[in-house]
C-alpha cells in the first residue's frame, strides 16, 4: 500500500500531471476573465447604441456649452467633462451621441480597473479570486448609478474612474513597495481633482491608512509621498491658476458659498439624501453597505485589504451624511465613495453570505428591474415625472423659437435668453444654428458660467426672445426683466403632454423690445 501511495504521489507530482493540473486552472481562470470581458464589452456596445436614442440632459447641455469655449476651468466645476465632450463632439459632431460618448468610455475604463483593483488586492491569480473580482464588477453594475452615470457626461463620470485609479496605484504602493507608484497615484488624484473637487475626499483616507499600517508609516520618512502631493498639485495647477485669475470664484462657489447656507440641525435633508441613495444604490446594495459598516469592529484589525477599501470610501460618504444634517447634499456627491465600500463588501462577505439565497435573488431581481425602469424612463417621450423630467419638449420648442426669431429679423436683430443656465444651454444645443444664448446675466442676476462669459455690447438696443418654463425652480423673472426693455409681452407658448392627457411642460416665449443694459 505504501508503494502504491508513493507511486500515486509521484504520479500526481510528475511534470505531465502538473501540466494538466495547471492547464485546468488556467482554462477555468480564463473562463472567468472571458466572462468579465464579454459582460463589459456587451454592456458597452449596448450603451453605445442606446445613447443614440437619448435626449441630452440640461446639465450635459451646459457642459457642452463649456466645451464651445475651452478654458483651464469653469465657474462651478473643473474642466475634465468639458474636455471629454469636446473630444466626443470633435469625433462625432455636436450631437447627443458626441456628448455622451465620453461617458460610455469612462464607464468602460472604470469597470476594467474595478476588476483589476480587486484582482490586485487578492494577489494570487486563481479561479476563486477572479470570481471575486468579477463579483465586485457585478455588484457595482446592479446599482442604478453605475448605469445612469455611464450615459451622462457630467463631472462625476470621469471622477469615478480617477477615484478608482488613485486607489489602484495607492494599493500598488502597499503591495509592491515600489516608490514610483507614488507619482502615478499623485497624477491620478490630480486628474480626479481636474474632474471634480470631490476627489479631495481620498486624501484623509490615504493618510489614515499610512498611519494605521506599520509598513506604510516608513514612507513618511521618504520624499515620495511629498513628491506625490507635488505631482497632484502640478496636475491641478491650471484649475488653481484659473481660479486665481477669476477671484477664486469656483472654489468660493463650491465651498464658501455652500458653507454660508448651512442651517440648524434638522432631519429633512438627511431623510431626502438617504431616500436618494436607496434609489441610486438599489435596496440590495444599500443593505449590503450598511451591514458592512456595522461589521467594522470585526475586520478593521484582521483584514487590512478590506479596511483599506472601506476607508477609501467612508470619509466621503460619512462626511456628506454628517453635512446633510444641516444642509442639502446632492444625491451624486457620495457616489465615488461607494466604489471602495463595494470592493470591501465583496471581499468581506464572500465566505459569509449565501449569494444564491432566496433573498439575494429577490434583491438582484429587483435591482435589475429598477435599472430597466431607469433606461425606459429616459427614452419614453414626454414621460410624466413631475419636475424630474428635465428634458422633454426642448428640441421641438427650440425649432419653433428659431422660427419666431427669423420672423423678427433673425439673430442679427433679436437674441435669445432664458431664466436658467440649463434652459439657455438646451436652447443653444437644439437651435438649428446653435447660436449663443444667454441666461440671467442679461438682467443682472447670478448665472454661474454665463457671468464669466458676460454679455456682449453688441446686444445693446436689440430685441430679444425671453424663454422660461412652468417648472417650480425656474420661476418667471419678469419683474427683474422688464426694467431692461421697453416692453415685454407674451408672444406664444408651447405645451407638451403625455398621451394627450398629462401635462409635462409648458415653455413660454416672450418678445422683449430694445435691450438697455447700460441704465442698470
HEC sequence for 348-393: HHCCCCCCCCHHHHHHHHHHHHHHHHHHHHHHCCCCCCHHHCCCCC
253, part of any domain:
no
Which of 348, 379, 410 finishes a domain? 379
Q: Are residues 341 and 285 in the same domain?
A: yes
C-alpha cell at 278: 436607496
243, part of any domain:
no
Where residue 456 falls (left for φ over 0; alpha for ψ -120 to 50; beta otherwise) is beta
Q: Are strands 463-469 and 502-513 parallel, antiparallel or unpaired?
A: antiparallel
Q: Are residues 458 and 498 in the same domain?
A: yes
User: Number of H helices and number of E strands within the chain?
Assistant: 23, 4
Q: Are residues 451 and 432 in the same domain?
A: yes
Of 107, 139, 119, 115, nearest to 43 by C-alpha is: 107
323, part of any domain:
yes
Which of 379, 408, 429 finishes a domain? 379
Q: Sort 411 into a burial class: Cβ within 10 Å, 0-12 / 13-18 / 19+.
A: middle
Q: Are residues 414 and 351 in the same domain?
A: no
Q: Sort 157 into a burial class: Cβ within 10 Å, 0-12 / 13-18 / 19+.
A: buried
Q: Are residues 117 and 211 in the same domain?
A: yes
Taking the C-alpha atoms of residue 316 and residue 511, their distance in angstroms, rounded to an integer, is 47
Q: Are residues 371 and 450 in the same domain?
A: no
Of 163, 113, 105, nearest to 338 by C-alpha is: 163
- Domains in the chain: how many in total? 2
12, part of any domain:
no
Q: Per-residue pLDDT tens for 183-232? A: 999 999 999 999 999 999 999 999 999 999 888 999 999 999 999 999 99
Taking the C-alpha atoms of residue 49 and residue 148, their distance in angstroms, rounded to an integer, is 15
240, part of any domain:
no
CB contact burial 26-37 (16+ within 10 A = b; e otherwise): eeebeebbeebe
Q: Are residues 133 and 168 in the same domain?
A: yes
Q: Are residues 396 and 339 in the same domain?
A: no
Parts of the chain with a pLDDT under 70: 1-30, 256-263, 351-356, 472-476, 519-520
Q: Are residues 203 and 93 in the same domain?
A: yes
Looking only at Cα atoms, what is the longest distance across the chain? Answer: 109
Q: Are residues 273 and 193 in the same domain?
A: yes
244, part of any domain:
no
What is the extent of the structural domain holding 420? 388-513
371, part of any domain:
yes
pLDDT of residue 139: 95
pLDDT of residue 13: 44
pLDDT of residue 472: 63
pLDDT of residue 10: 35
Helix/strand/coil for 248 = coil
Q: Are residues 445 and 471 in the same domain?
A: yes
| Whether the Cβ atoms of residue 53 and residue 96 lie closer than 8 Å to each other | no
248, part of any domain:
no
Which of 379, 404, 436 finishes a domain? 379
pLDDT of residue 373: 93
Of 61, 63, 121, 46, nearest to 96 by C-alpha is: 61
Kindly report whether the global pTM for this prediction surpasses the value 0.85.
yes
Q: Are residues 373 and 410 in the same domain?
A: no
Amino acid at each position: 500500500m505504501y508503494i502504491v501511495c508513493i507511486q500515486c504521489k509521484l504520479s500526481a507530482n510528475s511534470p505531465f500531471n502538473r501540466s494538466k493540473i495547471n492547464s485546468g486552472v488556467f482554462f477555468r481562470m480564463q473562463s472567468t476573465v472571458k466572462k468579465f470581458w464579454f459582460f463589459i464589452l456587451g454592456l458597452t456596445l449596448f450603451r453605445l447604441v442606446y445613447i443614440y436614442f437619448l435626449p441630452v440632459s440640461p446639465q450635459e447641455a451646459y457642459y457642452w456649452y463649456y466645451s464651445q469655449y475651452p478654458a483651464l476651468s469653469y465657474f462651478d466645476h473643473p474642466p475634465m467633462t468639458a474636455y471629454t465632450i469636446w473630444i466626443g463632439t470633435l469625433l462625432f459632431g455636436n450631437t447627443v451621441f458626441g456628448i455622451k460618448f465620453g461617458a460610455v468610455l469612462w464607464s468602460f475604463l472604470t469597470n476594467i480597473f474595478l476588476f483589476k483593483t480587486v484582482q490586485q488586492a487578492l494577489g494570487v491569480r486563481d479561479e476563486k479570486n477572479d470570481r471575486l473580482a468579477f463579483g465586485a464588477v457585478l455588484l457595482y453594475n446592479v446599482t442604478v448609478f453605475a448605469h445612469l452615470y455611464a450615459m451622462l457626461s457630467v463631472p462625476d463620470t470621469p471622477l469615478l474612474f480617477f477615484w478608482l485609479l488613485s486607489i489602484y496605484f495607492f494599493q500598488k504602493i502597499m503591495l509592491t513597495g515600489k516608490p514610483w507608484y507614488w507619482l502615478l497615484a499623485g497624477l491620478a488624484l490630480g486628474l480626479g481633482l481636474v474632474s471634480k473637487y470631490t476627489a479631495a475626499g481620498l486624501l484623509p483616507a490615504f493618510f489614515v491608512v499610512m498611519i494605521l499600517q506599520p509598513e506604510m508609516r516608513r514612507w513618511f520618512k521618504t520624499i515620495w509621498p511629498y513628491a506625490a502631493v507635488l505631482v497632484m498639485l502640478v496636475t491641478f495647477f491650471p484649475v488653481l491658476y484659473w481660479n486665481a485669475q477669476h477671484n477664486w470664484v469656483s472654489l468660493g462657489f463650491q465651498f464658501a458659498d455652500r458653507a454660508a447656507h448651512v442651517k440648524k440641525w434638522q432631519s429633512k435633508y438627511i431623510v431626502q439624501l438617504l431616500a436618494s441613495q436607496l434609489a441610486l444604490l438599489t435596496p440590495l446594495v444599500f443593505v449590503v453597505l450598511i451591514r458592512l459598516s456595522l461589521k467594522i469592529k470585526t475586520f478593521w484589525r484582521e483584514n487590512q485589504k478590506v479596511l483599506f477599501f472601506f476607508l477609501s470610501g467612508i470619509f466621503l460618504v460619512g462626511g456628506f451624511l454628517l453635512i446633510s444634517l444641516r444642509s442639502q447634499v446632492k444625491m451624486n456627491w457620495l457616489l465615488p465613495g461607494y466604489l471602495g465600500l463595494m470592493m470591501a463588501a465583496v471581499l468581506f462577505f464572500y465566505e459569509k453570505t449565501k449569494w444564491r439565497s432566496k433573498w439575494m435573488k429577490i434583491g438582484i431581481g429587483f435591482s435589475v428591474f429598477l435599472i430597466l425602469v431607469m433606461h425606459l424612463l429616459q427614452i419614453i417621450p414626454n414621460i410624466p415625472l413631475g419636475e424630474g423630467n428635465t428634458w422633454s419638449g426642448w428640441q421641438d420648442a427650440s425649432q419653433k423659437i428659431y422660427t419666431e426669431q427669423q420672423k423678427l429679423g433673425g439673430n442679427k436683430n433679436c437674441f435669445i435668453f432664458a431664466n436658467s443656465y440649463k434652459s439657455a444651454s438646451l436652447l443653444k444645443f437644439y437651435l438649428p444654428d446653435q447660436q449663443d444664448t444667454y441666461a440671467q446675466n442679461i438682467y443682472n442676476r447670478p448665472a454661474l458660467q454665463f457671468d464669466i462669459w458676460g454679455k456682449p455690447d453688441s446686444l445693446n438696443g436689440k430685441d430679444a426672445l425671453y424663454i422660461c418654463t412652468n417648472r417650480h425652480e425656474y420661476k418667471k423673472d419678469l419683474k427683474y426683466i422688464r426694467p431692461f426693455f421697453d416692453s415685454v409681452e407674451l408672444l406664444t407658448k408651447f405645451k407638451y403632454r403625455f398621451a394627450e392627457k398629462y401635462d409635462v411642460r409648458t415653455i413660454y416665449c416672450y418678445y422683449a423690445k430694445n435691450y438697455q443694459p447700460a441704465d442698470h
